Amino acid sequence: MKYLSGKEKEEAKNFMDLAAIVANGSSCLRTKCGSVIVKDIEVIGYGFNSPPGNKRLEKCLKDDLPDGFKSDKTCCIHAEERAIMLALRKDPQGITLLGSRLYFIRLDEKGEKTFAGKPYCTICSKMALDVGISEFTLWHEEGICVYGTEEYNQLSFGYKR
């Protein structure tokens, strides 16, 4: 992983801001997240989290899950998954995804960007790795941090609460 500086950081900040705008479309009752995928400064995919079909639920499913529920506990398709699916709709061969960079941001209740915690979502880390995205970008207190997708996947699997 590396923290960006200078011109690279400015450029990345613009894409983070764009991801935050995308996040506003989310209908999730819990958290709004956004993601954009960029290849050679072109946005090739974007998405926000929300329940399948972008439905608006009365109540988050997560609230009623039994203890020990085995699978992904979010009610939503994740923002990163949506961004990848959109990129694949536009380019079913997925060539544009190869070597691309994914940006992820989560908003707080006021709609402001928040710092991400450590990588933990193995659903998205595996998917990003599988389609050939080369970098995964988060916003930390220390700045904008770029992880290699392989590294991001390993860190996600090593996540401890």
Contact 101, 134 (CB under 8 A): yes
Beta carbon of residue 51, minimum distance to Zn ion (angstroms, whole number): 6
Q: Which is nearer to Zn ion, 134 or 153 (CB)?
A: 153
75 or 129: CB nearest Zn ion: 75
Least Å distance between CB 5 and Zn ion? 27
Kindly state the smallest distance separating residue 28's Cβ from Zn ion, in Å.
3
User: 65 and 74 in contact (C-beta within 8 Å)?
Assistant: no
Instruction: State which residue, 10 or 55, has the beta carbon closest to Zn ion.
Output: 55
Q: Which is nearer to Zn ion, 78 or 106 (CB)?
A: 78
Contacting positions for Zn ion (CB under 5 A): 28, 30, 75-76, 78, 121, 123-124
How many whole angstroms separate alpha carbon 153 and alpha carbon 150? 5
Q: How far is the CB of 7 from Zn ion (least distance, A)?
A: 29
Minimal distance in Å, beta carbon 14 to Zn ion? Answer: 23
Nearest-angstrom CA–CA distance, 24 and 103: 15
Nearer to Zn ion, 7 or 35 (CB): 35
Q: What region does 68 belong to: left with phi over 0, alpha with psi -120 to 50, or beta?
A: left
